[in-house]
Amino acid sequence: MTEDLLQLTPSGLYCPAGDFYIDPWLPVARAIITHAHADHARPGSRRYLTTPTGAPLLARRVGDAVVQTLPFGERLTINDVTISFHPAGHLLGSAQVRLERRGEAWVVSGDYKLECERTCEPFEPVRCHVFITESTFGLPIYRWPPQAEVFAEIERWWRTNQENGLTSVLYAYALGKAQRLLAGIDASLGPILVHGAVLPFIQLYRSAGVELPKVFHADEMNARLHRGRALVIAPPSAGHMPGWLRKFGPCSQAFASGWMTIRGARRRRAVDRGFVLSDHADWAGLLEAIRATGAERIGVTHGYASQMARFLQEDGWRAEVIPTRFTGEALEEMDAVVDGTVE
Ligand SMILES: [Zn+2]
Ligand SMILES: [Zn+2]
């Protein structure tokens, strides 16, 4: 990839002509960040560039570092390269990064989903010559049911639990998924409690203008007060903390994730229910997004990269795997840990 606009280096994807990295996994001088999940936004770099709505989320990850912003659709030239951000629909402020140099355009997707919902800017297809796509759910078995169906299922589960005197504990990643659940659920069904790791992100979403229902901190007092009626939203790691669950009394546990497509995944989590709700594109969504770019060359990363690249090659694309240091589930788990499990 010598003449390429982006190269893979030990620190991550590097643009030699612009002298910057995209989502680097080691500290660098200049990092362009697609979104604030831990596998994309690593601390330690000197300067960061991201979207205005993504910046407060990123700032929580990177502490005192300089965070600069570039609004969606505006252009910025760094050395020889013009860059712009375009919504990725993954979480608040999440971006695809478009790079252009001498008439050649590359787009790095970051994580993305095609479904629209009100906690983030809707995904926008961007034309380019080279598209670097994620492939977290890059297997044909991953097909998302309509969101409305999933929310109806979650509400039914919550209501049934109430009838049986059970607290409903729903595990979801603290950043992105938790806010999407809050925005989509019928909050009139009962009190909603959230784990301490979810609270700061709720505040940041509200500051950005995303309306979310009233929530209570899932502390000892609120847990006792709302036992048997509440919906509790917590990161997956909370369930592993000894004693954490006890304060809610008898409960039913569920997990909201694309991984819940697979029965074994639910068993591994030892939860009662799994709801298939993902902030990534499913198999059909990935292919739709790839086609919409009009790109002739596809880099596949972050997930089932080799399977997806092989499929694309057989279908006549020029596709290659771009290895990543972290992938899918393990990393998203880590995300929850990094978000903190302190209450
Ligand atoms: Zn992500
Ligand atoms: Zn990711």
- Check which CATH number belongs to the domain holding 151 and give it: 3.40.50.10710
Residue 336 within a domain = no
Of 275, 303, 337, which residue constitutes the final position of a domain? Answer: 275
Q: Which pair of structure tokens corresponds to residue 25? A: 């996994």
Task: Quickly state the pLDDT bin for 242 (edges 50, 70, 90).
Answer: confident
Q: Helical H runs in 270-327? A: 283-293, 305-314
- C-alpha to C-alpha distance for 283 and 143, rounded to whole angstroms: 6
Distance from Cα 328 to the centre of ligand 2, integer Å: 7
Distance from Cα 248 to the centre of ligand 2, integer Å: 32
9 neighbors 22 (Cβ within 8 angstroms): no
What's the whole-number mean pLDDT along residues 248-256? 96
What's the whole-number mean pLDDT along residues 208-230? 98
What's the whole-number mean pLDDT along residues 68-88? 97
Question: Which listed ligand is nearest to 90 at the C-alpha?
Answer: 1
Q: Residue 324: pLDDT above 90?
A: no
Residue 240 within a domain = yes
Distance from Cα 7 to the centre of ligand 1, integer Å: 21
Among 51-55, 160-164, 328-332, which stretch is predicted with the lowest mean pLDDT?
A: 328-332
Question: Which listed ligand is nearest to 92 at the C-alpha?
Answer: 1
Distance from Cα 24 to the centre of ligand 2, integer Å: 12
- Check which CATH number belongs to the domain holding 312 and give it: 3.60.15.10
Residues 167 and 217 both lie in one domain: yes
Residue 179 within a domain = yes
Computed over every residue of the chain, the mean pLDDT equals 93
- Decide which of 17 and 323 is more confident: 17
Q: Helical H runs in the chain? A: 55-62, 147-163, 177-184, 199-207, 220-225, 263-269, 283-293, 305-314, 328-338
| Residue closest to 105 by CA, chosen among 285, 286, 294, 292 | 294
Distance from Cα 222 to the centre of ligand 1, integer Å: 31
Q: Residue 139: pLDDT above 90?
A: yes
104 neighbors 5 (Cβ within 8 angstroms): yes
**Which long-range contacts does 183-189 make (Cβ < 8 Å, 24+ apart)?**
183/117, 183/118, 183/119, 183/210, 183/211, 183/212, 184/117, 184/147, 184/151, 185/151, 185/154, 185/155, 185/158, 185/213, 185/231, 186/151, 186/155, 187/213, 187/214, 189/155, 189/158, 189/159, 189/162, 189/231
Distance from Cα 41 to the centre of ligand 2, integer Å: 9
Whole-number CA gyration radius for the chain: 20
Residue 58 within a domain = yes
In degrees and rounded to multiples of 5, residue 263 shows phi and psi of -60, -40
The beta strand positions in 182-262, using DSSP E, are 192-194, 216-217, 231-234, 251-256
Residues 227 and 135 both lie in one domain: no
Distance from Cα 269 to the centre of ligand 1, integer Å: 20
Residue 343 within a domain = no
Residues 109 and 163 both lie in one domain: no
- Quick one: what percent of the chain has pLDDT higher than 90? 87
Cβ neighbours for 147, distance < 8 A, ≥ 6 positions apart: 115, 117, 184, 277
With vertex at residue 213, the alpha carbon angle to CA 208 and CA 215, rounded to the nearest 5 degrees, is 105
Distance from Cα 191 to the centre of ligand 2, integer Å: 31
Distance from Cα 35 to the centre of ligand 1, integer Å: 7
Distance from Cα 201 to the centre of ligand 1, integer Å: 14
- C-alpha to C-alpha distance for 313 and 336, rounded to whole angstroms: 35
Greatest pairwise CA separation for the chain in angstroms: 65
Residue 165 within a domain = yes
pLDDT at 267: 73
Task: Quickly state the pLDDT bin for 335 (edges 50, 70, 90).
Answer: very low
pLDDT at 341: 28
Distance from Cα 90 to the centre of ligand 1, integer Å: 7
- Decide which of 265 and 71 is more confident: 71
SS3 content of the chain, % helix, strand, coil (to 5): 30, 25, 45
Residue 2 within a domain = no
Residue 338 within a domain = no
For the CA atoms of 300, 304, 306, 311, what is the dihedral angle to 10 degrees? -80
Question: Which listed ligand is nearest to 302 at the C-alpha?
Answer: 2
- C-alpha to C-alpha distance for 20 and 189, rounded to whole angstroms: 48
Residues 295 and 310 both lie in one domain: yes
Q: How many CA atoms within 13 Å lie on the side-chain side of 238?
A: 30
Residues 126 and 169 both lie in one domain: no
Residues 58 and 133 both lie in one domain: yes
- C-alpha to C-alpha distance for 307 and 315, rounded to whole angstroms: 12
Q: Residue 121: pLDDT above 90?
A: yes
| Residue closest to 90 by CA, chosen among 262, 342, 271, 302 | 302
Of 255, 275, 295, which residue constitutes the final position of a domain? Answer: 275
pLDDT at 206: 98
Question: Which listed ligand is nearest to 134 at the C-alpha?
Answer: 2
Residues 287 and 138 both lie in one domain: yes
Distance from Cα 62 to the centre of ligand 1, integer Å: 16
Residue 239 is given by DSSP the state G
Residues 151 and 137 both lie in one domain: no
Q: How many domains does the chain have?
A: 2
pLDDT at 291: 98
Helix (H) or strand (E) holding 133: strand 130-135
pLDDT at 326: 62
Residues 219 and 312 both lie in one domain: no
Task: Quickly state the pLDDT bin for 41 (edges 50, 70, 90).
Answer: very high
Residues 15 and 135 both lie in one domain: yes
Of 275, 292, 310, which residue constitutes the final position of a domain? Answer: 275
Distance from Cα 34 to the centre of ligand 2, integer Å: 9
Residues 95 and 15 both lie in one domain: yes
pLDDT at 327: 53
Structural domain span for residue 234? 147-275
Residues 200 and 53 both lie in one domain: no
Distance from Cα 110 to the centre of ligand 2, integer Å: 7
- Exposure pattern of 289-309 as b/e (b: 16+ CB <10 Å)? bbeebebeebbbbbbbbeebb
Task: Quickly state the pLDDT bin for 240 (edges 50, 70, 90).
Answer: confident
Distance from Cα 276 to the centre of ligand 2, integer Å: 18
